[in-house]
Amino acid sequence: MQSAERDDAVHPAVKILDDLLRIQSVNPHYGEDARGERDVADYIQARLTRAGLKVTRQPVAAGRDNIIAELRVGKPESALLFEAHMDTVSIGNMRDALIPTYREGKLYGRGACDTKGALAGMIHMMERCAAHPELLHADLVFCASVDEEYAFQGLTAFMSLDIPLSGAVVGEPTELGIVVEHKGCARFSVQTQGIAAHSSVPHKGDNAIYAMTDVIEHVRKRIEPDLALIGSSLCGHPTIVVSTVAGGSQINIVPEACEIRIDRRIVPGESPEQVLLAFESDLREKLPHVRISVQPLLLDPALNTPHDAAVVQTAQGVAERLELSPALRGVSYGSNASKLQAWRGIPSIVYGPGSIEQAHSAEEWVPVHEVVQAAEFYYRMACCYAYTPKGDGAG
């Protein structure tokens, strides 16, 4: 079957996902043909406005707006955020990426897993809640954000509004697991400086590439093994990868500069700023003969949500009632949840249909039944959640 059956037998969340997959929303960072989130934002704004919700369009960058919907029931102290991003990575070599394709219980399409399946479930949840606000014990705020796949400008802009929130549910592929921990990262570049010379007289110069080999050897033989000594029971150990290398200008010149870029995944208990500072200090101490400079590229905190937070306790209760796993999990990838927690102190969980293994792939898909289950989970979360000063979730 190449498209969804447009009848009442198809769950409303799946119909919404079918619509979303037909809309190209590739992050503009990933190519000239990327359309960005504009068309998805239009779709969401129209649906939620029809549902009677207060909808705000928040400009973030040219042609790129967050969509924020609010359902206020007089419980601002218990305001619960549902957040999912609208952008996807590039189409790449995915065939029929914008044609929803159903096969063996799976729905294929770019963004199906990351993270339009979760987005569809949250849209459906907001529509259901708008029809019966009397069932809620907390105000609801929904944010469909831009730019999660590159620099999380959308979430940064949303947080600048300083909307009071007591908890958050962030949509990402977790295979319907309740994620309370995930890794963050410190991404940075390391440059070595040498002295250029003619390659016929290399002793007149100082080879920056040779100096960089000392740096790489230090990373592999000293730093990487030490990371196995620290970690989290849910997230595992931190990792470090030298991802790119560039140096030299032409074959007959001793290179005067070389650069590598490093991706250092951090675990709960580490901060990206401290990791970067420690890396540079260690490098300067252990390799005093190498002239280096270190520049941060992306500093993203890890997620470490207290297990007794209201949003966690409520999620576990909802999962049990839906006969889903209430176990708390950690994952190796990052999400907007860590910024909500680290920068605003908002206890956050990550939850959604699909597996990270399918995200960004040439065969991206999401199990249809998980889209339905996630939509029900979000709805039950919205209805059951109630914040108290002790952090107890409503039953």
Summarize pLDDT for 156-183 with one digit per residue, the tens: 999 999 999 999 999 999 999 999 999 9
Residue of 389 and 73 predicted with greater confidence: 73
- What gap in Å lies between CA 184 and CA 171, rounded to an integer? 17
CATH (domain of 216): 3.30.70.360
Whether pLDDT at 27 is above 90: yes
Angle at 299 between CA 278 and CA 120, to 5 degrees: 150
Whether pLDDT at 82 is above 50: yes
Last residue of a domain, one of 254, 278, 299: 299
What is the average pLDDT across 327-354? 96
- For the chain, what is the radius of gyration of the CA atoms? 23
Whether pLDDT at 348 is above 60: yes
Within this chain, do residues 30 and 116 fall inside the same structural domain, yes or no? yes
Residues 6+ apart with CB under 8 A from 345: none
In a domain, 4, yes or no: no
Number of residues that this document lists for the chain: 395
Which helix (H) or strand (E) segment is 21 a member of? helix 12-21
Within this chain, do residues 237 and 340 fall inside the same structural domain, yes or no? no
How many percent of the chain have pLDDT more than 70? 96
Last residue of a domain, one of 280, 299, 318: 299
Whether pLDDT at 261 is above 60: yes
Its pTM stands at 0.91
Please choose, from the candidates 335, 341, 283, the residue with its C-alpha nearest in 3D space to the C-alpha of residue 312.
341
Sheet holding 239-247, edge to edge: 239-247, 257-266, 184-193, 292-300
Q: How far is CA 370 from CA 11, 14, 177, 291, 324, in A?
A: 11, 10, 11, 53, 11
In a domain, 126, yes or no: yes
Q: Please answer whether residues 69 and 122 qualify as being in contact, where contact means their C-beta atoms are separated by less than 8 angstroms.
A: no
Within this chain, do residues 265 and 323 fall inside the same structural domain, yes or no? no
In a domain, 5, yes or no: no
Instruction: Categorize the per-residue pLDDT at 84 as very low, low, confident or very high, splitting at 50, 70 and 90.
Output: very high
- What gap in Å lies between CA 287 and CA 296, rounded to an integer? 20
Q: How many distinct structural domains can be found in the chain?
A: 2
Sheet holding 106-108, edge to edge: 101-103, 106-108, 365-367
Whether pLDDT at 5 is above 80: no
Instruction: Say what the pLDDT of residue 32 is.
Output: 81
Judged on CB neighbours under 10 Å (0-12, 13-18, 19+), 294 is: middle
Within this chain, do residues 221 and 319 fall inside the same structural domain, yes or no? no
What is the average pLDDT across 12-37? 96
Instruction: Say what the pLDDT of residue 395 is.
Output: 37
Please choose, from the candidates 6, 30, 9, the residue with its C-alpha nearest in 3D space to the C-alpha of residue 18.
6
In a domain, 394, yes or no: no
Q: Are strands 348-350 and 167-170 parallel, antiparallel or unpaired?
A: parallel
In a domain, 393, yes or no: no
Within this chain, do residues 137 and 29 fall inside the same structural domain, yes or no? yes
What is the average pLDDT across 126-138? 97
Whether pLDDT at 392 is above 90: no
Instruction: Say what the pLDDT of residue 362 is.
Output: 94
What is the average pLDDT across 227-233? 94
Residue of 3 and 49 predicted with greater confidence: 49
Instruction: Say what the pLDDT of residue 94 is.
Output: 95
C-alpha neighbours within 13 Å on the C-beta side of residue 226:
11
CATH (domain of 150): 3.40.630.10
Within this chain, do residues 84 and 159 fall inside the same structural domain, yes or no? yes
Within this chain, do residues 232 and 99 fall inside the same structural domain, yes or no? no
Mean pLDDT over each residue of the chain, to the nearest integer: 95
Instruction: Categorize the per-residue pLDDT at 388 as very low, low, confident or very high, splitting at 50, 70 and 90.
Output: confident
- Buried b or exposed e, range 209-224, using 16+ CB within 10 angstroms: bbbbebbeebbeeebe
- What gap in Å lies between CA 351 and CA 360, rounded to an integer? 18
Within this chain, do residues 312 and 366 fall inside the same structural domain, yes or no? yes
E strands in the chain: 54-61, 64-71, 80-85, 101-103, 106-108, 140-145, 167-170, 178-182, 184-193, 197-198, 239-247, 253-254, 257-266, 292-300, 303-304, 328-331, 348-350, 365-367
In a domain, 391, yes or no: no
Where in the sequence is the domain holding 287, given as residue range(s)?
A: 184-299
Whether pLDDT at 120 is above 50: yes
Instruction: Categorize the per-residue pLDDT at 242 as very low, low, confident or very high, splitting at 50, 70 and 90.
Output: very high
Last residue of a domain, one of 260, 277, 299: 299
Judged on CB neighbours under 10 Å (0-12, 13-18, 19+), 74 is: exposed
Q: Please answer whether residues 153 and 79 qualify as being in contact, where contact means their C-beta atoms are separated by less than 8 angstroms.
A: no
In a domain, 73, yes or no: yes
Q: How far is CA 54 from CA 40, 49, 68, 71, 126, in A?
A: 18, 7, 8, 7, 11
Within this chain, do residues 165 and 196 fall inside the same structural domain, yes or no? no
In a domain, 150, yes or no: yes
Instruction: Say what the pLDDT of residue 9 is.
Output: 58
Within this chain, do residues 157 and 69 fall inside the same structural domain, yes or no? yes
Within this chain, do residues 233 and 333 fall inside the same structural domain, yes or no? no
My answer on whether omega of the bond before 115 falls inside 30° of 0, hence cis, is: yes
Within this chain, do residues 56 and 189 fall inside the same structural domain, yes or no? no
- What gap in Å lies between CA 107 and CA 369, rounded to an integer? 10
Residues 6+ apart with CB under 8 A from 338: 182, 184, 300, 301, 302, 303, 348
Structure tokens that stand for 201 in this block: 């007289």
